[in-house]
Amino acid sequence: MSLRVIGRRIVAGAVPLALLVSGCASPSPTMSDFQTKTRTTARAVAGTAAVAQVSAQAWSRGQLTDAYADTLVTEAEDDVSSIIQTYDSRQPPTAAAVALKGRLDKPLQDISSALTDLRIALRRNDRRGVAQAVAALRQPLTTLGPLQQVGL
Amino acid sequence: MKRIFAVALGLVTAIGGFVDIGNLVTSGVTGARFSMSLTWAIVVGTIGMTVYAEMAGRVAAVAGRPVFHVVRERLGVRFGLFNLLACCLLNLLTLAAEIGGIGMALELVSDVSYLLWVPLIALALWGALWRLPFKVIENLFGVIGLSLLVFIVALFWLPVDWGSLTSSALHPSVPPTEAYTTYFFYAVSLIGACLVPYQIIFFSSGGVEEGWTRSSMFQMRLNTIVGFPLGGVLSIAIMATSAVVLQPLGTDVGHLSQVGLPVALALGKVGLAFAIVGFFAATFAAGAEATLSTGYAVSQYFGWAWGKWLRPSSAPQFHVICLITMILGTMLVLTTIDPITITLVAVVLGAAAIPLTFLPVLVIANDRDYLGDQVNGRFANVMGVVFLAVTVVVSVVTLPLLFWTRGGA
């Protein structure tokens, strides 16, 4: 067997193995898996939005520069958008999972919108708008609380 | 007086130069996820780095031999070549991560995307390597990097529950929400961030560049035995500020900006300015060191003339390799791969490769033909063997942990 053939076989075996191990684009085949995904999504979004909230408050107190606050909030907005996209790509396996997804969708969208508003207000140097956007984050963050414990 | 100044400058440089993007990111990430329960990993990594940097520095001072001379001689040409390739790949990843880190520091000041800064950063880095003397590169950015001490000041300004923080550090445990594999993956990444191959290569080659002799041993030992551990304390302080501010928020740190947030909350814009200057200096110095280390390693392996003190016409291969490294590192960042991801991959793979650098240093530090009466004593050998064993274990578990945890997700 030539080295080239051996090389091809190694690649042919290693690529599916790497994909399997890294879990790329794997579905959520059971309710338990979907609950875990929901829980981690809720936690990730809550943690990211909380940083944006704290950053905006620090900016209002004059502790953060405009550029730094904008960077933090823009990154939070991008991260939340990416997390939501990943969660939406998962197929809910049962009717109960569809209902669970429905419970999470609303606060996720509210947080995403509030972060966009926050970024716009920060870039406009609009203190009132920042305060409103920070306030708008409170309710969906509270709703996410129980969802961070789903399945435990 | 001049000698005291030189000693103090070397010490300060060692502290400021210890921290790079790897330490900044891993300390910030782990503090937010595991509080202080991974402090032991920084302690292990820092002691290991201190032990082997002292050995490599001694070999450079007494025998005038930098690390890659030793590697080729003791590991043989083929295995040495494997080591060289691993080292170059790691240096490239590290350089890309550092360039990304400099860009992110500039983004925090300018609000302009880090990617737009990357070409200018590459030019500035190359300009610094081309024009500035070795001493200036080493000392200037090392001293400015001390701005990161602001993290220690911030820690005392924040409302800290010292009992809980200390307890978390002294009684490490895996948080209930985290898997053991994830915990150990981050332990490996912290150890890898401290035990960086490029720093050992740079330290020993720099010693030869500066003309270290036996009379330089005191300065060299002070830098490693005092300076590096103080650099480790800086990493612990970054972890602690992250644990105090970001962990209660439930944040997964994924950006350099988040690492600096606790400083802003404690000290406002002035503290923040120090933190950003520190980010810039630490990553800029490390970028220069990673570039030079690649030039050193390749030139030493092939037996070419090397050194910043040599004009390009006298050491063309060395300068061309540095230039190629810089171009490749810049291109890697411009692919838009997240610099934080590159950083984590670099520190983890670095942890896997470190025994390849440590073993030949340990062997030659025991060779009387080279070191005469300066060979390792019993204590240095015990420490050397223990940390070599630690790095071998780390090396074996690194890749399985990387895949199993999906990169610490």
What's the CATH number where A62 sits? 1.20.120
Check if the beta carbon of residue B19 is closer than 8 Å to that of residue B279.
no
pLDDT in tens, A16-53: 444 444 444 455 578 888 999 999 999 999 999 999 99
Structure tokens at A54: 């704290």
pLDDT in tens, A67-121: 999 999 999 999 999 999 999 998 899 999 999 999 999 999 999 999 999 999 9
| B409 belongs to a structural domain | no
State how many domains chain B has: 1
Give the mean pLDDT of B355-372: 89
Looking at A43-57, A122-136, B92-106, B189-203, which range is the least confident one? Answer: B189-203
Chain A environment of B275 (Cβ under 8 Å): none
Distance CA A127, CA A123 (A): 10
What's the CATH number where B18 sits? 1.20.1740.10
**Rounded to the nearest 5 degrees, what angle is found at the Cα of B352, between the Cα atoms of B368 and B379?**
35
**Per-residue pLDDT band at B399 (split at 50, 70, 90):** confident
Q: Searching chain A, which residue's CA lies closest to the CA of residue B113?
A: A71
Give the mean pLDDT of B167-186: 92
Give the mean pLDDT of B147-155: 95
Q: What is the pLDDT of residue B10?
A: 64
Distance CA B119, CA B128 (A): 14
Nearest to B391, CA basis, from B343, B359, B345: B359
Q: What is the pLDDT of residue B212?
A: 85
B110 touches chain A (CB under 8 A): yes
Distance CA B256, CA B275 (A): 11
Chain A environment of B107 (Cβ under 8 Å): 67, 71
Amino acid identity of residue B309, one-letter, is W
By CB atoms closer than 10 A (0-12, 13-18, 19+), residue B176 is exposed
Find the CB nearest A23 among B245, B258, B406.
Answer: B406
Region of B175 please: left (phi>0), alpha (psi -120 to 50) or beta.
Answer: beta
Check if the beta carbon of residue B197 is closer than 8 Å to that of residue B53.
no
Cβ–Cβ gap A68/B406 under 8 Å: no
Q: Which structural domain range is residue A37 located in? A: 28-147
Of residues B333 and B145, more confidence is placed in B333
Structure tokens at B151: 């993290």
Distance CA A25, CA A42 (A): 19
Summary mean pLDDT of chain B: 90
Where in A1-151 does DSSP place strands (E)?
A: none
pLDDT at B12 over 80: no
Q: What is the pLDDT of residue A22?
A: 45
pLDDT in tens, B56-109: 999 999 988 888 888 888 778 888 898 899 999 999 999 999 999 999 999 999
State how many domains chain A has: 1
Find the CB nearest A68 among B250, B257, B406.
Answer: B257
Q: Which structural domain range is residue B345 located in? A: 2-404
- φ, ψ at B210 (rounded to 5°): -85, 0
Structure tokens at B334: 């411009």
A55 touches chain B (CB under 8 A): yes
pLDDT in tens, B243-271: 999 999 999 999 999 999 999 999 999 99
pLDDT at B208 over 90: no
Cα distances (angstroms) measured from residue B201 to each of B196, B368, B398: 9, 22, 22
pLDDT in tens, B109-132: 998 999 999 999 999 999 998 888
**Rounded to the nearest 5 degrees, what angle is found at the Cα of A48, between the Cα atoms of A45 and A52?**
130
Nearest to B55, CA basis, from B405, B387, B389: B387
| B384 belongs to a structural domain | yes
Find the CB nearest B269 among A44, A65, A79.
Answer: A65
B255 touches chain A (CB under 8 A): yes
Structure tokens at B119: 């070409």
* B223: DSSP letter: I
Structure tokens at B293: 């280390």
Nearest to A42, CA basis, from A146, A151, A115: A146
Give the mean pLDDT of B337-347: 89
| A117 belongs to a structural domain | yes
* B227: DSSP letter: I
Check if the beta carbon of residue B122 is closer than 8 Å to that of residue B252.
no
Structure tokens at B34: 């595991």
Chain B environment of A58 (Cβ under 8 Å): 261, 264-265
| A15 belongs to a structural domain | no
Determine the distance in angstroms separating the CA of B260 from the nearest CA of chain A, rounded to an integer. 10
Tally of CB atoms within 10 A around B354: 31
The complex's ipTM? 0.87
**Per-residue pLDDT band at B293 (split at 50, 70, 90):** very high
| B360 belongs to a structural domain | yes
Q: What is the pLDDT of residue A1?
A: 46
| A4 belongs to a structural domain | no
